[in-house]
Structure 1
C-alpha cells in the first residue's frame, strides 16, 4: 500500500531522510516509491491495519519535519483534468465507509501549479458526493488531501504531526536557556537519523543545555550527556528534569569519554564552533579529531553517529575509522552553514581459529 508523507520545507533532503529512518526504526517493510517537492511516497507491505496503527502512532509521534501522513488514493499529473479523472475513477472501499462524512483540502506546493486550490476542492468533493457520501466542512469523519507539487497526490489523512509541541520546547521556553543551540525540530530529526530505539543508550558528548538529549529522551532512549562547562551541565540537568527523562550527565572532556568500548547505540552531537568556543583541547582540530576517535570507540558495531559542524568533520571521522553514510548541508544564516554528517561504525568481524 502506498502512503504519502507531506514534508515540511525546512530542508530539501532531511525531512525525507527522517521519514525513512523512522520507518526503519519501527521495523516496517517498505520501499521508497516516488519523491516530489515536499512529498515522499513510500510503498509499505504488511497488514494495513497494523501498518496504519504504527504510522499513526509511533511514527507520527517521532517525526519532526513532516506535516501529515496520507493513505494514497492515487498519483497523477498536476493539472485539473488529470486530478478530476483520478477522483472520478477511485473506489471508496478502504478510504471511506458508508455513513461517513468527508471534506477535501488541497495544498499547493510553491509554484508548481497556477490554478486555485478551491476549484479542485469543490470538484473532487462533487465526485465523492456522487459516490454516496456527504460533505461536512467543520467536523468530517474523513479528510481527503490533495498535494499539488510536480505531481498531484490524492489521499486520505491518516495522521498529523503535532509540530506545536516542538514550538513549546524552544530553548527560550525551557528552565535553563543558553544561546546558540539547535531548535527542537532539528534536534529531533537528527535524533531520528541516528535510528535510536526505545530503551537504547544514546550519547551527546557536547550536550550543552541538553536540547538533543531531551528529544532523544522523549522517544524513549536512555540518554548520557557530557559537557566541559559546569554551568551547562547544571542547566542540562534542569532541562532534563523538567521532562522527567532517564538520563546521566557528566562534566568532562569529549576527547576522554569515561565509557567502555562499544557500549553506546547511537551518538548525536553538535560540537562547538569558532575560536571563542570553550574547549579543553588545544584547538578545534584536536577537539574534532579526539572526539570522533572516542565516538568510534564507544559506539557499538553498526551504530550511527550524527555530527553537526561548520566544517568538514567527515575527514576526522574517516581517520577515526567511521564510515560516512550521508552529508547534508543546512544554511542557517549568512554567516553559518551547518554540515550534518551521518557516520556508521562498521560491524566487527568475528574470526575463529581454524
Structure 2
C-alpha cells in the first residue's frame, strides 16, 4: 500500500512537542496545525504511534481535506471518496463531527450528510448498504468543519491516548498524562537527571517520567485500539511491533524521581497509580509541604516539574498568589540552580510571584488544559 496521510490530535500549545515526537518515532516530516499535526507514513506507523506516543491524543488516517461553500458541497466531497479499502461490508460505522465557525447548519447536520454520503458511495461500489451504529461502531469517521474547510479522517486509536489506564485514583485537579509528558520534554529533563514533583497529587508527572525513563509504552495498559477493526491492519503485524517495543523496555533502570504532597490522601492515591502503572519502585514518595524547605527530600534536584493549585477550587485568587510566592522562596532556599517547569491557569499570579522572588522566567507558552487556558513556564531557580 502507498504511504498514507495522517493527522494526530494533541493539546493546543504543544503541537511542536508532538511533532518532534512523531518525527523521532517514525522519521516522517511533520506539519503543525492548531491542536494537531499532519504527516505521512505506512500502516506499521499506526501501531508504533498508538503504542509509543506520549503527547498524542488520537491518530487518524486522513481521507480528505477540502474547501466547501455549502452542506451540499460537503456531501459531494464525502460521496466522491472510496471507503471500500477501510470498511468491510459487514461492519458498522459512525460519523463524529466537530464544527468551528459560523454556519447555517449544525455538527449533527454534518454527521447526517456525511453518513449518507458514505452509505451511497459504498453501496454504489459494492452493492451493499453499510450499517450505522452510533454507540459501538466498528469504524469511526471524524469530520472537522473549521470555517469553510472540511477535514475527514478514520480514527485508528479509539478512546483518547491520554486515558492511560493506570489512573485508579483520580485527583480532583488531575493533569492530563499527555500534558505531563509534554512538560517533561519541554523541561529538557533526561532520565539520568534527578526530578521532583513537590505537589504531586495523583503523581501523574512522576509516573510519566518513570515510564519515559524505562522506555515503557504509555499505551501498554490499554485493552483495545480502533485500528484492530480496520481492513488494512493486521493483528499479527501489530503483535510483532508490540513485542519488539516490549523488548526495548528497561524495567531494571532506577531513575531518581521523587513525588511529594502535603496531603496523605493524594500521596496514597499517587502510590496506587504508580503501582498500577508498574513503576512504584521507580518513584520515591514523601509527605511534605512544598512551601517549607525543611520538608523537602534531601539532595539537589536538577528539575522541578509541577502542576500546582490554580486557585479555581480550593484556593482563592489572593491565596494562590501567596502559595506561589512561598513555594518559589522554598525552592530558592532548598534547590538553587535547578530548573522549574510549572503549569498554571493563574498566570498573572505566578508572574507576580516570580518577580517578587527574583526568579527568571526563561520560557512561557500558552496551552489549553482541556477547555481551560493555561501557561507552562520554564524558570531558573
Query: Matches of 1:202 and 1:100 in 2, distance apart?
Result: 51
Higher strand share: 1
1:284-299 equivalent positions in 2, closer than 5 A: 284-291=324-331, 297-299=337-339
TM-score (norm 1): 0.64
Q: Does 1:312 align with 2:303?
A: no
1:1-354 equivalent positions in 2, closer than 5 A: 2-5=5-8, 15-18=11-14, 20-25=16-21, 27-28=24-25, 29-35=28-34, 40-45=35-40, 47-59=41-53, 63=56, 66=57, 68-78=58-68, 79-90=70-81, 96=86, 103-109=93-99, 112-113=102-103, 114=105, 116=109, 117-132=111-126, 134=128, 135-137=130-132, 142-150=139-147, 151-162=149-160, 165=163, 169=167, 174=169, 181-183=172-174, 186-196=175-185, 202-208=195-201, 210=203, 212-214=205-207, 217=210, 223-228=257-262, 233=267, 236-237=270-271, 240-241=274-275, 243-245=277-279, 246-252=282-288, 254=290, 256=293, 257-258=296-297, 263-264=302-303, 267-270=305-308, 274=315, 284-291=324-331, 297-299=337-339, 305-308=341-344, 310=346, 311-314=348-351, 319-328=358-367, 339-343=374-378
Please tell me whether the aligned partners of residues 206 and 259 of structure 2 are also in contact (alpha carbons under 8 angstroms).
yes
Runs of 5+ in structure 1 lacking a partner? Answer: 8-14, 347-354
Query: Matches of 1:92 and 1:272 in 2, distance apart?
Result: 46
Query: Matches of 1:323 and 1:103 in 2, distance apart?
Result: 48
Query: Matches of 1:123 and 1:155 in 2, distance apart?
Result: 14
Please tell me whether the aligned partners of residues 328 and 340 of structure 1 are also in contact (alpha carbons under 8 angstroms).
yes
In the TM superposition, what whole-angstrom CA distance separates every residue of 1:255-285 from its partner, at most 9, and x where no partner exists?
6454655644x71331585489999xx9752
TM-score (norm 2): 0.61
Higher helix share: 2
Alpha-carbon shift at residue 141 of structure 1 (Å): 6.1
Match in the other structure for 2:241? none
Query: Matches of 2:310 and 2:33 in 1, distance apart?
Result: 37
**Size of the alignment, in residue pairs?**
309
Alpha-carbon shift at residue 213 of structure 1 (Å): 3.7
What is the aligned-residue RMSD (CA, Å)? 4.7
Query: Matches of 2:373 and 2:275 in 1, distance apart?
Result: 29
Alpha-carbon shift at residue 228 of structure 1 (Å): 4.6
Alpha-carbon shift at residue 5 of structure 1 (Å): 4.0
Please tell me whether the aligned partners of residues 344 and 376 of structure 2 are also in contact (alpha carbons under 8 angstroms).
yes
Report the 3-state secondary structure (helix = DSSP H, G, I; strand = E; otherwise coil) of the residue aligned with 2:325. helix
Query: Matches of 1:288 and 1:330 in 2, distance apart?
Result: 23
- Cα distance change, pair 272–235 in 1 and its aligned pair in 2 (3 A): farther
Please tell me whether the aligned partners of residues 360 and 380 of structure 2 are also in contact (alpha carbons under 8 angstroms).
yes
Alpha-carbon shift at residue 31 of structure 1 (Å): 3.3
